[in-house]
Amino acid sequence: MASDEEYMRLALAAARKAGNATWRNPRVGSCLVKDGKVLATGFHQHYGGFHAERDTISKLTPEQLSNSTIYVTLEPCCHYGKQPPCTQLIIDSGIKRVVVGETDPHSLVTGKGIAALRQAGLEVSTGLLAKEASQLNEHYNYFYQTGLSYVTLKQAMTLDHMLAKKGVRTAITGAEAWTRVHQERAGYQAVLIGSETAIIDDPLLLTSEDLVHPPVRVVLDRRGRLLEHLDLRLFSDKRAETWILTENPAFLEQDMPKQVKIFALSDGKISTSIKILADQGVQSVYAEGGAHLQESLLAAGLVNDVISYVAPRFLGRGTEAAVAAEALDLKDVQTEQVGDDVRIYGRIKDV
């Protein structure tokens, strides 16, 4: 007979199938077992759809469910949202035992789902493979634990520490790295740049994945420089929303396309900008801006991890990459060849 851990690993594998489709909801998987046999697995497939528990339970008969055990990577919800509470579904189904990986950090759930199941007389075990379960939803967890957006700083630079030729759009890395960046964006709810990058590069900031909820394109434009550049593609492209964060009141009076939203900044602090994004429910930010934006994020202690693409070339004089105000030793470092370039990942904060 397999162990609880093996059954939970099946639930974890199911959860990973969701990819980025759950958007602001966590990735969750479940596995239902009776008499030592796996009867069904399920997962939360997309935002607004069945939760993992309902997806699994819907595949079985009342007889199969009676006196069974369900393994869930995240604590079952106990409130009404896009879907009714999973705790009540589990109770009504006749399941006798629930094994939970991670306690949900969302204040609407934390501990309440587990308490509801126990109050109904079910046996509940918690914390099984909790670390692995939490890794499924690092952005979600950080957001609900801190109230801040999880920030990844991404940069592409040459061997002489350059980001671009001064004032000119410059391709630093090769096609393979470009493709990888487009894939990475899909794992975040916002892509952040500064006004200088928007003006020089005229980027679209899209992802290669076909998502119902693509990441919002966010431009930090304190002075309102983009008012002189309303022909940028970020204003005309309708494949994702564009948000402008600015201190310039003239922007608030500007007639904008439907997909463009303007947010007023009360001050020039980068922490204020990230707080605005968090207040809008943005759980994760992929910061692709230039050196000034990156240095501001680092200095404010807002960066969770860093992704650097290093190209095997010397650019000569140009725009230098970000310089941290103090020494930072990255953890969990991973180095990978991507085409001719090298991708370096490192974590600054533990989640």
Q: Which residues are catalytic?
A: 53
Q: Would you say 71 and 30 are in contact if contact means Cβ atoms under 8 Å apart?
A: yes
Assigned token pair, 201? 């590069």
Measured between alpha carbons, how far is residue 153 from residues 58, 100, 127, 286, 287 in Å?
A: 41, 33, 31, 6, 5
Assigned token pair, 109? 């759930």
Residues 6+ away with beta carbon under 8 Å from 231: none
Measured between alpha carbons, how far is residue 202 from residues 47, 234, 254, 269 in Å?
A: 31, 7, 20, 25
Q: Give 230-287 as a DSSP string.
A: TTSHHHH--SS-EEEEES-THHHHS---TTEEEEE-SSS-HHHHHHHHHHTT--EEEE
Q: Would you say 197 and 289 are in contact if contact means Cβ atoms under 8 Å apart?
A: yes
Residue that the structure tokens 């759930």 belong to: 109
Residues in the chain: 351
Question: For residues 188 and 185, what is the distance between their CA atoms, to the nearest angstrom?
Answer: 6
Question: For residues 13 and 30, what is the distance between their CA atoms, to the nearest angstrom?
Answer: 9
Question: For residues 38 and 53, what is the distance between their CA atoms, to the nearest angstrom?
Answer: 14
Alpha carbon 89 to chain centroid, angstroms: 28
